[in-house]
Amino acid sequence: MITRFAPSPTGPLHLGHAYSAILAHDMAKAAGGVFLLRIEDIDQSRARPEWEAQIYDDLHWLGLSWATPVMRQSERLPVYQTALHTLWDQGLLYPCNCTRRDIQQAAAAPQEGALQYGPDGVIYPGTCRDKPRPDVMGDMALRLDMRRAAATVAWTEDSTPDKKQVFGPEAFVQTIGDVVLARRNMGTSYHLSVVLDDAAQKISHVIRGADLADSTPIHVLLQKLLNLPTPIYHHHKLIRDDAGKRLAKRDDARAISKYRDEGATPNDIRRMVGLPAV
């Protein structure tokens, strides 16, 4: 078993991260497997070296150990570009220069019906899909043409009387839409990087929060398109604050470092998130 914890160095790790990291670590160790770390720093406008240093420090303090070298996404842009070229050459990507506002407005047009949301927010209404495609990929945002992409992995469900597809291409189109695979001037996206990196690190079990479960169909689709293995997915419960709201990066009050400063022990943290002490 190979598991991983893949934080973004854009803020302090909080109790939710501690839960995710400990779970992935303990599952690997219990199975005699390997626990890996990956720094998801593709968004260089938000990633900070001091947050990365704090991640190592907090995880060591929690008693976790991982195999080195640690993978850092900012060092893997050529790998992401190669995969984008593969998809581009298959005619599955198109450039998009819509702003968030353009998308909101187009999706809210009367003929579009009620606003539909997917894993990345409002489902893209397709404004740039049928524009003539340039010869080269360029630095614009690139979207996956979901109808074409999902058609390449279509299957037939034969057990139902009307031979209806259970989660076929149409479901990808309706519930996910044309997601961004390369953000403008970034050369990649969360979805593309995570899929390529999980494959490169030979992750057998992806252990992550339930908030990412909606993205998993996108990841499995990309694995099929790029000829990569599909790991086993384990989406765990989210750690919530006293009001029942899930913790976010800005919840500095729940930062692991804050509990440390106040004298908590790693076992206190384990207990707080409902894991057995060691």
Residues lying near ligand GLU in the complex (CB under 6 A) are found at 6-8, 40, 194, 208, 212
Of residues 36 and 194, the one with the C-beta less far from ligand GLU:
194
Burial of 130 (0-12, 13-18, 19+ CB in 10 A): exposed
Min CB(8)–ligand GLU separation in Å? 4
Min CB(73)–ligand GLU separation in Å? 9
Min CB(1)–ligand GLU separation in Å? 16
Of residues 40 and 120, the one with the C-beta less far from ligand GLU:
40
Min CB(161)–ligand GLU separation in Å? 38
> Which of 73, 98, 86 shows the shortest CA–CA distance to 180?
98
**Cis (ω within 30 of 0) for the bond into 110?**
no
Min CB(148)–ligand GLU separation in Å? 25
Of residues 168 and 217, the one with the C-beta less far from ligand GLU:
217
Min CB(208)–ligand GLU separation in Å? 4
In this structure, what token pair is assigned to residue 212? 């990412």
- The count of other CB atoms within 10 Å of the CB of residue 107 is 21
Of residues 28 and 96, the one with the C-beta less far from ligand GLU:
28
Contacts of 111 (CB under 8 A, 6+ apart): none
Of residues 200 and 277, the one with the C-beta less far from ligand GLU:
200
Q: Distance between CA 13 and CA 249 in Å, rounded?
A: 7
CA-to-CA dists, residue 192 to 74, 80, 213, 237, angstroms: 13, 7, 16, 24
Backbone φ, ψ for residue 142 (5° rounding): -120, 130
Q: Distance between CA 106 and CA 170 in Å, rounded?
A: 21
Backbone φ, ψ for residue 93 (5° rounding): -120, 150
Of residues 150 and 206, the one with the C-beta less far from ligand GLU:
206
